[in-house]
Amino acid sequence: MPLGRSTSLDRVFEVFGRDQAERPLSHIGSIVAPNQELAVARARILYSERPWVELCVAPAESFMNCLQQGRDGRVGLA
Amino acid sequence: MSYPAAVSQALESELLCLADSNWVLGHWYINCILNGRELTDFTSMAGIAEEKLGHARALFRFMEEHYELPEYQLEFARPADQVHGMELLDAPPGNWADFVLTLYLADKALWRFADTLRTGGFAPVANLVTKFGEEAYFHQLCIDGWLKALDEGERGDLAAALRGRLPPVFRWFHSPAPDPLLEAGIRTEPLAHAKDRFAADVQDLIESVPEGSSASSTALAQGVDPTDWDAQRRRPQGSVLPPRLWESMTPTSEAAKLARRPLAVSIDDNIDLFGKVKKDDTEPQF
């Protein structure tokens, strides 16, 4: 199997973090992973630049856009 | 809290088994980083390696304090034949599936071993081990994810790898009775129970692999020859870490030595750690 493979199993997970208890949970980025276990582990390691009080991931396809049609499964303005 | 000498000595050996195995495991990740399948694997492996080495060093520092050992000698001045690393990690990975499987077995075994100390009555070790467990949970999650993502061909490699990797990991739990740590309350259950828990942890994986169950039964049936077993290091008598693995852990080249963070003390004195040389605080430090 070649290095750097990207398989059809890969899914996008959105990552959310809160660095202080009184601050809101914010979208901090995305992770591509073939399963939920790797998404959680990778998010914890990749987004370790701050001592988060909360860090969580959710599959991108679970997000439904409330302002525009056709943008379900996408978070952020890109 | 002070324990009788036999208990203290047994604890030292067991802590070295835990620390050294984490130390070797950390270097497995470092040596295999470029075999990651995706960019995020490289980051994950570097992150896990950092934490594994952190666990080893936390135990080394604790032992230096507790046993009044000279600083840094455990990490930088022991010969390979005094290292208590798991025999499971001696043979290098043959392929990606073997690599992931070995990490899986080593991590689960280390946790079951450590868990017997987590619930024990020696608070400094119990607290350290609790913290290790919080981090090891995510290491295991990552390995579970890698296992789940193996393709058909790699699952075939997994079956072959399982036959070679199971016997040493089951052997690692072998403990001659009586166990001084159990009697002193530092360990709350015998290692035989920890081995059973480990076997239950890995059962699903074993059963998912063709002929996994028979490989497991064969491995479990293989006992340990007490005349050829170093119970303190949990390895066959006289066995040492493979030279290339050892060189990657304690490089001897001048360039690698220069690249190391300078230490506050000399490590060239070849002090006999196990003769319990006391630190001399009156000596000038530079």
| Residue carrying structure tokens 């942890």 | B201
What part of B 165-224 touches A (C-beta under 8 Å)?
none
Tell me whether the omega of the peptide bond preceding residue B178 falls within 30 degrees of 0, making it cis: yes
Work out the average pLDDT over B78-90. 94
At residue B62 the predicted structure's pLDDT band, cuts being 50, 70 and 90, is very high
Q: How many CB pairs (< 8 A) connect A and B?
A: 66
The tally of domains found in chain A comes to: 1
Residue A71 lies in a domain: no
Q: Do B48 and A3 touch (CB under 8 A)?
A: no
Q: Taken in order B170, B173, B175, B178, is the CA torsion positive or negative? A: negative
Residue A78 lies in a domain: no
Residue A52 lies in a domain: yes
At residue A1 the predicted structure's pLDDT band, cuts being 50, 70 and 90, is very low
Contact A45, B43 (CB under 8 A): yes
The answer to whether ipTM exceeds 0.85 is no
Residue A20 lies in a domain: yes
d(CA B45, CA B38): 11
With contacts defined as CB-CB under 8 Å, which chain A residues touch B145? 33-39, 41
Note the pLDDT tens digit of each residue in B211-264: 888 888 888 777 788 788 999 999 999 999 999 999 999 888 888 877 776 676
Identify the CATH homologous superfamily for domain B8-275: Ferritin, core subunit, four-helix bundle (1.20.1260.10)
User: Does A4 have pLDDT greater than 50?
Assistant: no
d(CA A41, CA B208): 23
B156 CB near a chain A CB, below 8 Å? no
Work out the average pLDDT over A6-23. 86
Contact B31, B22 (CB under 8 A): no
Q: Chain B: nearest CA to A33, how far in angstroms?
A: 9
B138 CB near a chain A CB, below 8 Å? yes
A49 CB near a chain B CB, below 8 Å? no
Residue A1 lies in a domain: no
Residue A69 lies in a domain: no
Fill in the amino acid letter for B36: G
Q: Do A38 and B142 touch (CB under 8 A)?
A: yes
Note the pLDDT tens digit of each residue in B160-199: 999 999 999 999 999 888 899 999 999 999 999 999 999 9
Note the pLDDT tens digit of each residue in B108-157: 999 999 999 999 999 999 999 999 999 999 999 999 999 999 998 999 99
- The whole-number pLDDT of residue B222 equals 79
Note the pLDDT tens digit of each residue in B24-52: 999 999 999 988 888 888 999 999 999 99
CATH number at residue A21: 3.10.20
Give the number of residues written for chain B. Answer: 286
Q: Do B40 and A6 touch (CB under 8 A)?
A: no
The three-point CA angle B173-B179-B181 to 5° equals 100
d(CA B229, CA B262): 37
d(CA B98, CA B104): 10
d(CA B198, CA B183): 22
Q: Which domain holds residue A40?
A: 11-62
